[in-house]
């Protein structure tokens, strides 16, 4: 590749080869996006964590390139949102063409007043490099490169691993094993665990090209364009003047042949014109699958990311959902490890993220059925929708070139306390906190002031000093974040200068929202009562 | 017709078009000089336009079930 050289991380000989077997609280298999996010989150919480990876570099090729607003918000809490947002290319507009003509365009995030954009495009290798850099800053986090997990023995009270290195094999034991070893998950295979779903009979060519162009940073999707008839094409801008072109090829295409530059170049010339100057950076031919494990928790093994669930790339629901898996899991694991919550809290990781995976798979399957119609009549309806979309707004809602990743609203979660009062808006129990501009001690955004632990967002000075101290005490502390009022030492006070916190939360004087450590709403009230808050925290922690 | 498995109460199945013969003539006329593929596209667009106009999911589901019921025999 012209624009990027993969780093090589140093292999180190394991001390266990010459000494006693080590026992770890948490071992993570796989230093990809999901494993690294989980490792950083755990280490930030002071939990020692060991990451094992069978390779010694970041992603080879750009692979996952669209990182969602929610991913950036999670990374902000982990101290690496800013470098990734700065390096990435932000975008918010999607355009859908049929043939040569624009069928319609949409804004992914139609409102302002959010810190992070709807998406940034960034090559996966940069994304992983930022995470590795952050990981190296954390003293309780160790990554072992070219240490391959070659055996897993799960027991009731621990997991025993065999690790293979160039210097020989060694054993490790751990309380909890986070399996983040990707779509082909060697650990899942070793244990013979299920992975059920659907394989789609279609092939796609990804070509990353280096090209100076003044195309705007938008997602452009063509159905049946003149330069690639009867198939679809997707175009994304990445940093370093790299562009991602994704050509639908059909099931009969020969993957080996289609990877050859001699085959790729004419396709690109047809699209970009005879005079366009570009070089191919990286190319790959892929098929895809929508499938998931039946359960993401198997005793002391917790599966996250692609090892647990796979979707088509249309909608950017792969890496983004994996990052949300880690975000959901880690605070629960910390509470269990510290003995502040029962082990069954981890079953809510399973139920919440299985529900999220099902939503992602449903969206991804529907998009795939629209992009790759499976019958003549399905194709006819698809073309009818696209044709109507040019004139009629209703049909634009039916066009499906991928429903872009938004976080799952965990409305069925057993951790939620049901509403006892009515609220307007979308901040229902289970929803991720909506951001809004504020002035506060931790930054200019509401989300800078939420997360990590439990937070009680209150509208007005309704929690007295005694109650605030009571909430801050105990094994599971809850911080008070107050909207409006004068600064107090026992809470965070933010100024809702644009009125958007009140608007987005239907906040009236006295309204309270309880947020989990992953910034999801888990309870809300129209008036503060300390006992209700304690009960909701107990419920949200499996007690 | 077999017994409908969907709630048919939502769907008007008595005569509701003021001049049935006029409508039918126009419907057939709509497809004049079209190829089968063009006709299929026009039909699909018509279904989508009407479905959006109706909007009510119960009515749409009942109509879909009624349309398919005796095509595939007992459902």
pLDDT in tens, A457-474: 999 999 999 999 999 997
Closest to A277 in 3D by CA, of A287, A268, A264: A268
Tell whether A380 lies on the interface with B, counting CB pairs under 8 A.
yes
Is residue A76's pLDDT more than 50?
Answer: yes
Distance CA A509, CA B75 (A): 56
Phi-psi region of A53 (alpha: psi -120 to 50; beta: other; left: phi over 0): beta
User: What integer pLDDT is reported at residue B73 of this predicted model?
Assistant: 60
Q: Closest chain B residue to A394 measured between Cα atoms?
A: B52
Mean pLDDT of A42-54: 98
CB neighbour burial string for A285-316, b if at least 16 within 10 angstroms, e if fewer = beebbbbbbeebbbebbbbbbbbbbbbbbbbb
What are the tokens at A284?
């790959």
List CB contacts of A267: < 8 A, sequence separation 6 or more. Answer: A205, A207, A227, A228, A247
The CA distance from A30 to A132, in Å, is 12
Residue B74, pLDDT score: 52
pLDDT at A507 over 90: yes
Q: Is the pLDDT of residue B30 over 80?
A: yes
The pTM score is 0.94
Tallying the residues shown for chain B, one arrives at 75
**Does the beta-carbon distance from B49 to A392 stay under 8 Å?**
yes
A169: helix, strand or coil: strand
Positive or negative torsion for Cα A217, A223, A224, A228: positive
The whole-number pLDDT of residue A330 equals 98
Location of structure tokens 């948490």: A26
Q: Residues A235-238: contacts with CB within 8 Å, 24+ apart?
A: A236/A65, A236/A66, A236/A121, A237/A89, A237/A91, A237/A121, A238/A62, A238/A65, A238/A89, A238/A121, A238/A122, A238/A123, A238/A208
Task: Assess whether pLDDT exceeds 70 at residue A189.
Answer: yes
Who among A377, A387, A394 is closest to B52 (CB)? A394
ipTM for the assembly:
0.91
pLDDT at position A479 over 80 = yes
- Residues A53-79: what's their mean pLDDT? 97
Q: How confident is the model at residue B5 (pLDDT cuts 50, 70, 90)?
A: low
CA-wise closest residue to A448 among A72, A40, A135, A47: A72
Q: What Cα–Cα distance (Å) separates residue A1 from each residue in A62, A208, A213, A335, A533?
A: 11, 10, 19, 44, 54
CB contact under 8 A, A383 and B48: no
A148-180: pLDDT as tens digits: 999 999 999 999 999 999 999 999 999 999 999
The partner residue sitting opposite A395, judged by closest CB among B37, B40, B48, is B48
Helices then strands, counting H and E runs in chain B, come out as 3, 0
- Say if the Cβ atoms of B48 and A385 lie within 8 Å: yes
Which of residues 391 through 420 in chain A touch B, CB cutoff 8 A? 392, 394-395, 398
Span A342-355, mean pLDDT?
98
Average pLDDT over residues A296-313: 96
- CB within 8 Å: B48 and A381: yes
Residue B1 clears pLDDT 50, i.e. is over it: no
Mean pLDDT of chain A: 96
Q: Answer with the residue of higher pLDDT: A408 or B73.
A: A408
Query: Within an 8 Å CB–CB cutoff, is residue A347 touching chain B?
Result: no
| Subunit contact A383:B49, Cβ cutoff 8 A | no
pLDDT of the residue at A154: 98
B23 Cβ contact partners less than 8 Å away, ≥ 6 residues apart: B17
CB A395 within 8 A of CB A385: yes
Instruction: Give yes or no for A384 touching B (CB within 8 A).
Output: yes
Q: How far is CA A168 from the centre of its chain?
A: 35
Residues of B with Cβ-Cβ distance to A398 under 8 angstroms = 48
Average pLDDT on B17-30 reads 97
The yes-or-no verdict on residue B3 having pLDDT over 80 is no
- Is pLDDT above 80 for B8? no
B50 near A CB under 8 A = no
Is residue B7 predicted with pLDDT exceeding 70? no
CA distance A57 to A59: 7
Q: Does B67 touch chain A (CB under 8 A)?
A: no
Q: How many angstroms separate the Cα of A154 from the Cα of each of A151, A168, A189, A286?
A: 10, 22, 14, 33
Among residues A493, A519, A352, the alpha carbon closest in space to that of A435 is found at A519
Residues of A in contact with B40 (CB under 8 A): 376-377, 380
Q: Which tens digits make up the pLDDT trace of A118-139?
A: 999 999 999 999 999 999 999 9
- Residue A175 near residue A41 (C-beta atoms within 8 A): no
Q: What is the pLDDT of residue B75?
A: 44
The mean pLDDT of A494-520, rounded to a whole number, is 98
Compute the nearest-CA separation of B20 from chain A (Å): 26
Range in A252-256, A279-283, A351-355, B69-73 the model is least confident about: B69-73
Of A376, A377, A384, the CB nearest to B48: A384
* Nearest in space to A218 (alpha carbons), one of A96, A103, A91: A91
Token code pair at residue A174? 């751990």
> Could you tell me the residue ranges of all domains in chain B?
20-69
The answer to whether the CB of A399 falls within 8 A of the CB of A389 is: yes
B48–A398 CB contact, under 8 Å: yes
């Amino acid at each position: 590749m012209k624009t990027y050289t993969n780093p090589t991380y140093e292999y180190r000989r394991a001390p266990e080869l010459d000494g006693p077997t080590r026992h770890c609280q948490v071992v993570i298999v796989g230093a990809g996006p999901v494993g690294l996010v989980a490792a950083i989150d755990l280490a930030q919480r002071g939990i020692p964590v060991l990451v094992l990876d069978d390779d010694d570099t970041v992603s080879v090729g750009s692979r996952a390139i669209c990182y969602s607003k929610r991913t950036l918000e999670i990374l902000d809490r982990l101290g690496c949102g800013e470098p990734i947002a700065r390096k990435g290319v932000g975008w918010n507009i999607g355009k859908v063409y049929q043939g040569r003509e624009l069928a319609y365009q949409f804004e992914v995030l139609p409102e302002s007043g959010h810190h992070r954009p709807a998406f940034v495009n960034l090559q996966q290798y940069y994304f992983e490099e930022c995470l590795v850099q952050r990981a190296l800053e954390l003293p309780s986090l160790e990554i072992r490169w070219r240490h391959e997990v070659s055996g897993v023995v799960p027991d009731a009270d621990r997991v025993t691993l065999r690790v293979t290195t160039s210097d020989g094999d060694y054993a490790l034991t751990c309380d909890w094993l986070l399996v983040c070893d990707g779509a082909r998950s060697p650990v899942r295979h070793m244990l013979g665990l299920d992975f059920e779903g659907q394989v789609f009979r279609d092939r796609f060519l990804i070509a990353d090209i280096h090209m100076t162009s003044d195309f705007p940073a938008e997602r452009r999707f063509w159905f049946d364009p003149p330069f690639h008839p009867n198939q679809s094409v997707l175009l994304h801008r990445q940093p370093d003047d790299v562009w991602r072109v994704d050509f639908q090829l059909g099931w009969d295409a020969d993957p080996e042949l289609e990877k050859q530059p001699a085959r790729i170049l004419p396709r690109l010339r047809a699209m970009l014109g005879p005079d366009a100057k570009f070089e191919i950076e990286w190319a790959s031919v892929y098929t895809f699958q929508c499938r998931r494990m039946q359960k993401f928790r198997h005793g002391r093994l917790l599966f996250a990311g692609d090892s647990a669930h796979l979707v088509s790339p249309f909608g950017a629901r792969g890496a983004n959902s994996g990052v949300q898996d880690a975000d959901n899991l880690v605070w629960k694991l910390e509470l269990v490890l510290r003995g502040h919550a029962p082990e069954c809290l981890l079953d809510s990781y399973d139920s919440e993220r299985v529900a999220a995976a099902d939503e992602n798979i449903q969206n991804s399957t529907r998009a795939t059925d629209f992009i790759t119609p499976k019958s003549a009549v399905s194709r006819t309806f698809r073309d009818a929708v696209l044709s109507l979309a040019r004139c009629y707004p209703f049909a634009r809602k039916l066009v499906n070139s991928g429903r872009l990743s938004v976080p799952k609203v965990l409305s069925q979660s057993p951790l939620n306390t049901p509403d006892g009062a009515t609220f307007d808006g979308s901040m229902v129990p289970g929803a991720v906190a909506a951001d809004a501009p504020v002035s506060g001690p931790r930054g200019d955004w509401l989300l800078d002031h939420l997360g990590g632990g439990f937070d009680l967002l209150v509208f007005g000075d309704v929690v007295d000093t005694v109650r605030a101290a009571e909430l801050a005490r105990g094994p599971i502390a809850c911080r008070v974040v107050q909207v409006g009022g004068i600064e107090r030492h026992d809470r965070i006070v933010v100024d809702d200068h644009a009125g958007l916190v009140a608007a987005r939360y239907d906040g009236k004087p006295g309204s309270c929202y309880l947020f989990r450590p992953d910034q999801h709403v888990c309870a809300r009230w129209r008036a503060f009562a300390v006992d209700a808050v304690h009960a909701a925290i107990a419920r949200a922690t499996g007690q | 017709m077999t017994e409908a498995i969907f709630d048919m109460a939502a769907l008007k199945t008595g005569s509701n078009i003021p001049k049935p013969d006029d409508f039918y003539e126009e419907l057939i006329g709509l497809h004049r000089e079209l190829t089968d593929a063009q006709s299929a596209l026009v039909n699909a667009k018509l279904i989508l336009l009407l479905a959006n106009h109706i909007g009510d999911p119960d009515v749409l589901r009942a109509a879909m079930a009624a349309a398919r019921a005796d095509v595939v025999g007992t459902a």
